[in-house]
Structure 1
Amino acid sequence: MTISVLLLFLIFALPISWIDFRTYRIPDKLIFPCLLAIFILLLTVEIGTLPNRVIAAFLSFFFFLITRSITKGLGLGDVKFAFLIGLCCGLPWACIAFLGAALSGILAILFLRRGGKEAFRRPIPFAPFLTLGVIETYILSLFFHL
């Protein structure tokens, strides 16, 4: 992932994360323009990586869709956001971003939910952790070239 893709992603992902944090919803009116902008950027700047990124986007989408149908813990917004992350990161970096998001989310849950069993009944917005996973992945990509 290049810095231009990351910055364009963050322009949309930070408001998406904030809205998800506040409302437990990821608005399509931010997801779809971001998808279009990232796709256009990739077409103009990084066309050679486009096939890998499109495959990563669809794999991410289907993985999150299956996870959503099994666990009922994810919303459709998370599934669409996963598609966006796959498009931004490509393979194998999207997998690393999701792992970073999951680990960050688990740590936050353990920290925030020290209050007992009642605290475990409230939902946790996942978009902020997905965004953090992408940032973590970008930093890792500066040091490791897969």
Structure 2
Amino acid sequence: MAQAQTAAEPTEPLAILNAVDTDLNEFKWIKRPVVIFADSEFDPAFVEQMELIVSEADRLVERDVVVITDTDPDARSEIRLRMRPRGFMLTLVGKDGQLKIRKPFPQDVREITASIDKMPMRQREIREAKEAARN
């Protein structure tokens, strides 16, 4: 039987992966990929987005988020070919594998988590966590 994690226990670190080495299908029903595209790792929007994500990584870990970055258009990753970004783009993919949001500018973690918290699957996770805490 799994034990509930307490606030005092350390959480797992936020996974930040490279799109070239990543298949979105491996996260279906397990994680919520946040995919961040840019034409260069030096793109100011990309740099800002990564700073925002790292600053509140724990809030993303709580919501089963994995971050995938793609800053090399020439590598033609499978994810880039599927989502076809133009310059900077942030996408949120649900656990069901469907694209949920697509933004052409950096989003703070509060905005990302608010989008996640509105999803039916996340609502169910919250309910189940509350029920487990009561028992």
| TM-score clears 0.5 | no
Shorter-chain TM-score: which interval?
0.3 to 0.5
TM-score, length-scaled by structure 1: 0.33
Structure with bigger helix share is: 1
Structure with bigger strand share is: 2
